[in-house]
Every structure is written in structure tokens, then in C-alpha cells.
């Protein structure tokens, strides 16, 4: 669960990335919408979901859209997760030792939880677990913003469930 539903304002955060940079929601929103994906490396649904987020990033990421993985684990474990699942978008750390400040601000009770946050701070999509329709909605919103036709996120050859709870 999360108390940050679509239409509400996303709580701000400022987290250190694996690349040493600081990722502040306020600064990221200045560039365009933000796809913030909270996860834990040991979560099987996160492991299933992140390759699809990588596909979204490859199609719609860039200068005017930020994808940010927000890990509830340490830097070494998070880097290993990114390598294992082929994730190339930035990863930030919301660590236990610091009290999970971002996860708590969003009221998270399960992962993965993914948010599409617009430039004004409004949450456009709030998705808990793996929800195929929510990922397709994020793709459609990002494609619309770029004024392009959304590319299929899932191929007909893939057996992808409609959802998997986190």
C-alpha cells in the first residue's frame, strides 16, 4: 500500500545515487516527468518487473524523462541487482540505516511500487506490485508527451501475467 495515489502530490526526496550524484525529486522534475521505482533486491516481483522498466527506459528515457530506481538495500547489493537484471537507469539508495526516508514518506508497505510523477509534482500513476496495465499506461503517457505512438511493451511471444502482487 501507499498513501500517494494518482492526483496527489508526490513527497519530495533527496537520495544518494550509486553514481555518487544526489537525486532530488524537485530537481528531477525540472527536466520532465519522473518514473520512480521503489524496490528491494530480494523481492521476486521486483526481479520480474525491472527488466520491463528497463524496456520503458530504453524507449522513453532521455533528457526530458528521468527513470530512477530507489533501492531499499545497500550500494553493493543494488549494483549487483542492476547488473543481474540489465538495469542501466540511475539507482538511488533509500537505506535501512537511514530509516528509509523516501519509502516512509510515500507510505510504502510493499515493493515494487512505481510512480509516474509529472513536472508539477502530481502523481499520474501509482502502481504496486507488477501491474501490466499500469506499465502500459506509463508508456502511453510518456509516448504522448513525446508526441509519438507508444511501442508495444510486451511481445505476443511473452507470457506476461496481468499482475503479480508485491
Query: What are the pLDDT digits (tens) for 97-156?
Result: 889 999 999 999 999 999 999 999 999 999 999 999 999 999 999 999 888 888 888 988
Determine the pLDDT at residue 122: 97
Domain presence at residue 153 = no
Determine the pLDDT at residue 1: 61
Q: CA-to-CA distance for 136 and 152, rounded, in angstroms?
A: 8
Domain presence at residue 101 = yes
Domain presence at residue 76 = yes
Domain presence at residue 98 = yes
Q: Please count the residues of the chain.
A: 166
Average pLDDT rounded to a whole number, residues 67-73: 98
Q: CA-to-CA distance for 136 and 48, rounded, in angstroms?
A: 16
Domain that holds residue 106: 14-130
Percentage of the chain lying above the pLDDT 90 cut: 80
Determine the pLDDT at residue 146: 87
| Sign, Cα dihedral of 20, 84, 50, 163 | negative
How many domains does the structure of the chain reveal?
1
Domain presence at residue 161 = no
What grid cell was written down for 139? 508508456
Give the CATH number, domain containing residue 54.
3.40.30.10
Determine the pLDDT at residue 133: 96
Closest CA to 5 of 92, 107, 94, 132: 107
Q: Do 67 and 148 meet the contact criterion of CB atoms below 8 Å apart?
A: no
What grid cell was written down for 39? 524496490
Determine the pLDDT at residue 80: 98
Domain presence at residue 112 = yes
Amino acid at each position: 500500500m501507499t498513501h500517494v495515489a494518482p492526483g496527489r502530490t508526490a513527497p519530495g526526496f533527496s537520495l544518494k545515487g550509486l553514481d555518487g550524484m544526489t537525486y532530488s525529486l524537485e530537481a528531477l522534475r525540472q527536466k520532465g516527468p519522473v518514473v520512480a521505482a521503489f524496490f528491494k533486491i530480494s523481492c521476486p516481483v521486483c526481479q520480474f518487473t525491472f527488466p520491463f522498466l528497463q524496456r520503458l527506459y530504453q524507449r522513453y528515457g532521455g533528457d526530458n524523462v528521468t527513470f530512477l530506481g530507489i533501492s531499499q538495500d545497500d550500494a553493493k547489493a543494488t549494483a549487483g541487482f542492476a547488473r543481474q537484471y540489465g538495469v542501466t537507469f540511475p539507482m538511488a539508495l533509500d537505506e535501512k540505516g537511514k530509516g528509509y526516508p523516501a519509502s516512509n514518506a510515500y507510505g510504502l508497505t510493499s515493493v515494487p511500487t512505481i510512480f509516474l510523477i509529472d513536472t508539477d509534482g502530481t502523481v499520474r500513476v501509482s502502481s504496486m506490485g507488477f501491474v501490466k496495465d499500469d506499465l502500459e499506461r506509463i508508456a502511453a503517457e510518456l509516448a504522448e508527451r513525446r508526441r509519438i505512438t507508444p511501442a508495444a511493451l510486451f511481445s505476443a511471444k511473452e507470457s506476461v501475467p496481468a499482475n503479480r502482487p508485491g
